[in-house]
Amino acid sequence: MVIDLKRNCKRNSKRQGTPGGMCLTIVAVMLGTLALFIGSVAMAQDAMAQAGASVATPLLKVDTGDTAWVLMSTALVLAMTMPGLALFYGGLVRSKNVLGTIMHSAIILCMVSLIWILFGYSLAFGPDKGGIIGGLEWIGLNGVGSEPHPTYGPTIPHQVFMLFQLMFAAITPALITGAFAERMRFSALLLFAALWSVVIYTPVAHWIWGGGWLGKMGALDFAGGAVVHISSGVSALICALVMGQRKGYGTEYMAPHNLPFTLLGTGLLWFGWFGFNAGSALGANGVAGSAFLATHTAAATAALAWMWMEWMHRGKPTVLGVASGAVAGLATVTPGAGFVGPFSAIVIGGFAGILCYFAVVWKGRMGYDDSLDVVGIHGVGGIFGILATGLFASKAINTAGADGLFFGNTAQFGIQAIMVAAVAIFSAVGTWIILRLVDAMVGLRVSPEDEATGLDLSQHNERAYS
Amino acid sequence: MPSHVSTMRKVLPVLVCMVTLTGATALYAQDAGAPAPAAPPAAASEATTAPAAPALPKIDTGDTAWLLVSTALVLAMTAPGLALFYGGMVRSKNSLGTIMQSFIILCLISIQWVLWGYSLAFGPDKGHIIGGLEWLGLNGVGLEPNADYGATVPHQAFMIFQMMFAVITPALITGAFAERMKFSSFLVFTLLWATFIYDPLAHWVWAVGGWVRNLGALDFAGGTVVHISSGISALACAIVLRQRLGYGREHMSPHNLPMTVLGASLLWFGWFGFNAGSAVASGALATSAFVVTNTATASAALAWMIAEWMYRGKPTVLGAASGAVAGLVAITPASGFVGPMSSIVIGLGAGVFCYLAVLWKSKFGYDDALDVVGIHGVGGIWGALATGLFASKAINAAGADGLFYGNPAQFGIQAMAVLISVVFAFTGTFIILKLVDGVMGLRVSEEEERMGLDLSQHDERAYS
């Protein structure tokens, strides 16, 4: 059957003039799906058996209010990827690439959704193996049922926690796509995202949240400053360096084709981020309220700070600047959201706006083409956020956390710095290897003609607007 | 001038309908209002039972919060979700007309549901066929939980959650007659369809005493009631209204695909309320429904993409969006009864079957403009049947086992429920359409169709 497919593919590719490599990729993707399918059937029974068997521990009770809040938060985080991020990025590119850009977020969401329930969740949160990675005990959600897990949300069904974390796993690689916008081959994107989410995301999530070595060390990352933002921001830098600049970068006009789209995306990101941060309390409780407040305050402050900087530095406050500032504030407050008070959040947000603004301005001097500023916003914001958590965290806000430097605990700042270094180095090296691998397998970039035509027509054979 | 007069004449029946509505509202408002101030008698009668039976349903705040937020999520599915999903797929001269259809259905059915729809669908059973008129104007539908419909949430919360389902179902049909239906006829059609098709069908399948429910048919969140009924009615509409002018010859590609993707994403987002909210409580069942909803959607979008990539050479964005919606449709009836691994298979089936259905549409010649039949009809039927295959009591003890779990009878029951919905929806819709056509005509004139619905029906432009 496989041989047949390959022959068909070759015939098709001849007829349509597409490179044969593309076809092989399709076959690879298909085979992967087939494997998934077989695996699923095999595991279905185990999962069922487990669901029936796990009714015996009556210690932890599901709270309807906590469950309602985390379910809602899960839906909110979905809305961050689709449509939030898809439109945020989609508005920033040229109109010939808008569908290609939206497709990146959409298809990553779909792929990671399946990877996560099949084995990703088990690798990230399954029983710890040497502080490095989760075991395979929870493959196919085996044993992940409706009973709460004692550490992963003791008042909500274990599957709710799994699902909430799924949305984090989905948005992280989607954030990276801004770095190689307008020039990546679609088949390469599929491979890259699948590999990245398994090889980079799941270990990092395990180190910090799944009982791994950084978590044991006492590293604080409430909602993903390191797991989500540093990992995606640093990987974005490597992507921009390896992929090279877009054709005509610096010489051609590459202004956003639809800024209202971008603003709509920003609004949905802000809206969804309440689920991201306040949902990370895993219950409808005081920490959730405090995280909600810190999130909102930092976003507002960062947007204002970015606007002021730009006004002073460039003469006019731009709408794109306000949108970028808000996202920078949201990314920065993420790791601290559950540990800092509202006034610390103002300081964090203020610095986020200023630092990320300069990171984006200075990008031009460095010469790499991080097309939609993932490095400047998520990388810089994430690093500053993790460090700021080591400064502003306070047990008065969250007794389960720790005090930061400003509350008399210098050691915490050191731990946070180690986390930054570990996650940044791991993401950078890992991403570089994955990119090289994918480049060798299918080629990363579209051809110069395809790039000139735009991703919409060259990769998807459709136009956004008619 | 004459054209104005004739338009006016056509608007008149609508106006009359509206006045009747208002009149009826005024009447029932008092009835509904009466029990509230005159609570003593009602409360007294309940108070006498309350101390006697301490197990009286008590409102759970978590369950209520989840159901309320789910209601808002399902609202977001109709407007803006569906409105933008369809609005982006039509030509720009019809985008407002298309958005208006979803938007005004939201308004129209909200009123219909409160006045008589809810009573017909969920009111006290009359001969297993229809609900009684006891709950007209929400008379007796108050803040006390109803043991049959959500024992831990106020009865009104259940009512308004169901309202959003009643709203989105006729809105789904509008994709079949997009770009060519007269606005006034559309209003009358919708009102009749909701009353004579949706309300009885919802009663049969979901209400206590409904005959399809009594057969043991499983439909967790509306595979038959919402998707088969709208998908098959869409087929009737496409046949009766015939093709758009220039169908097959002119270029009719979507005018704004990013808008369509925005709509599809909002549908996905809102569908968590649709499916997980149908547990009418927050907890294990809602969680399980949420997990399988997301999983089936992802797997259907990937399946459609791969099918299209192999068949057509390129994976399209419209394909991925359509695949996601197909997956959402197919998992709907099964969402409370199947496990995550089964949902992968249901999603794969949905992506492939619906892709083929959309592909083969052109061979049949009907102009289902935005593929309601291929996605909701076919996806709904596949989902209802798949429920009979994959349902498992290990997931939901209140459900049943399907064929793969040793109960072949369930598959037969599901097939029967499918057949009943298909026959009822098709004949009913056909009759309603012929009726409306006879009274006021269904289609806009040729000049109006060329001009576009935006200018001809609403006298405004979407973009300037």
Could you give the CA distance from residue B269 to residue A87 in angstroms, rounded to a whole number?
Answer: 15
Q: Do B253 and A69 touch (CB under 8 A)?
A: no
**Do B302 and A461 lie within an 8 Å CB cutoff?**
no
Distance from CA of A145 to the nearest CA of B (A): 8
User: Is residue A36 within 8 Å of B344, Cβ to Cβ?
Assistant: yes
- Mean of the pLDDT values across residues A96-119? 97
pLDDT of the residue at A285? 96
How big is the A-B interface in CB pairs under 8 Å?
Answer: 213
Mean local confidence (pLDDT), A334-345: 97
CA A131 – CA A207 distance, rounded (Å): 7
Distance in angstroms (rounded) separating the CA atoms of residues B432 and B443: 14
pLDDT at B40 exceeding the cut of 70: no
Which of the residue ranges A10-19, A364-373, B55-64, B382-391 would you say has the lowest mean pLDDT?
A: A10-19
pLDDT at B17 exceeding the cut of 90: no
- Site from A16, A54, A72, A463 to mutate, B interface, most B CB atoms within 10 angstroms: A72
Q: Does B311 touch chain A (CB under 8 A)?
A: no
The tokens describing B163, both together, are 């309202």
Q: What is the pLDDT of residue A60?
A: 86
Greater pLDDT, B37 or A326: A326
Alpha helices in A155-285 (DSSP H): 158-176, 186-196, 202-209, 213-217, 231-243, 259-278
Cross-chain Cβ contact B269/A79 below 8 Å: yes
Backbone angles phi, psi at B408, to 5 degrees: -65, -25
- The residue among B293, B309, B396 with the most chain A CBs within 10 A of its CB, best to mutate, is B309
Give B178-220 pLDDT, tens digit per residue: 999 999 999 999 999 999 999 999 999 999 999 999 999 999 9
Q: For A165, which residue in chain B has the nearest alpha carbon?
A: B291
pLDDT in tens, A262-271: 999 999 999 9
Q: B-contacting residues of A 7-26, CB under 8 Å?
A: 8-9, 12, 16, 18, 26
User: How many other C-beta atoms are found inside a 10 Å radius of the C-beta of residue B68?
Assistant: 18
What confidence score (pLDDT) does residue B88 get? 97
CB A324 within 8 A of CB A209: no
Residue B21 pLDDT class (50, 70, 90 cuts): low
- A284 CB neighbours in chain B (<8 A) are 62, 65
What distance in Å separates the CA atoms of residue A152 and residue A415, rounded to the nearest whole number?
A: 23
- Which pLDDT score, from 0 to 100, does residue A124 have? 98
A318: CB partners within 8 A, 6+ apart:
A310
Q: Taking residues A247-273, what's their average pLDDT?
A: 95
Torsion angle, alpha carbons of A409, A410, A412, A414, to 10: -170
Give the model's confidence band at B312: pLDDT under 50 very low, under 70 low, under 90 confident, else very high.
very high
Name the B residues in 355-414 with CB < 8 Å from any A CB: 392, 394-395
Q: Is the pLDDT of residue B107 over 70?
A: yes
Arithmetic mean of pLDDT over chain A: 90
Q: Which of B266, B317, B322 to mutate to test the interface with A (most CBs of A within 10 A)?
A: B317
pLDDT of residue A17: 39
ipTM for the predicted complex comes to 0.89
pLDDT of B35 above 60 = no
Structural contact between residues A70 and B381, judged by C-beta atoms closer than 8 angstroms: no
CA distance B90 to chain A (A): 10
- Which pLDDT score is estimated for B324? 98
Chain A stretch 270-309, residues whose beta carbon is closer than 8 A to a beta carbon of chain B: 284
Distance CA B32, CA B235 (A): 39
Q: How confident is the model at residue B362 (pLDDT cuts 50, 70, 90)?
A: confident
Cα separation, A316 vs A339, whole angstroms: 35
pLDDT at residue B36, as a whole number: 41
Q: How far is A143 from chain B (nearest CA, A)?
A: 12
DSSP A309-320: HHHHHHSS--HH
pLDDT tens digits along B128-155: 999 999 999 999 999 999 999 999 999 9
Q: Is the pLDDT of residue A7 over 80?
A: no
Q: How far is CA B89 from CA A12, A87, B95, B259, B367, in A?
A: 29, 17, 8, 8, 14
CA gap B412, B421 in Å, rounded:
14
The tens digit of pLDDT for each residue in A286-306 reads 999 999 999 999 999 999 999
Rounded percentage of chain B residues whose pLDDT exceeds 90? 86
What's residue A364's pLDDT?
A: 83
Mean pLDDT of chain B: 91
A333 or B4, higher pLDDT: A333
- CB interface of A with B, residues 137-176, below 8 Å: 140-141, 146, 156-157, 159-160, 162-163, 166
CA distance A140 to A39: 8
Tell me how close the Cα of B341 comes to any Cα of chain A, in angstroms.
Answer: 5
SS3 assignment for B173-187? HCCCCCCCECHHHHH
Residues A45-76 pLDDT 10s: 444 444 444 444 456 899 999 999 999 999 99
**CB contact residues (below 8 A), chain A span 21-60, against chain B:** 26, 29-30, 33, 36-37, 40-41, 43-44, 47-49, 51-52
Report the distance separating Cα A312 and Cα A353, nearest Å: 13
pLDDT in tens, B65-87: 999 999 999 999 999 999 999 99
Antiparallel, parallel or unpaired: β B125-126 and B130-131: antiparallel
H-assigned helices in A17-129: 20-53, 64-79, 86-92, 98-115, 121-125
Give which of A1, A43, A45, A64 to mutate to test B binding, by max B Cβ within 10 Å: A64
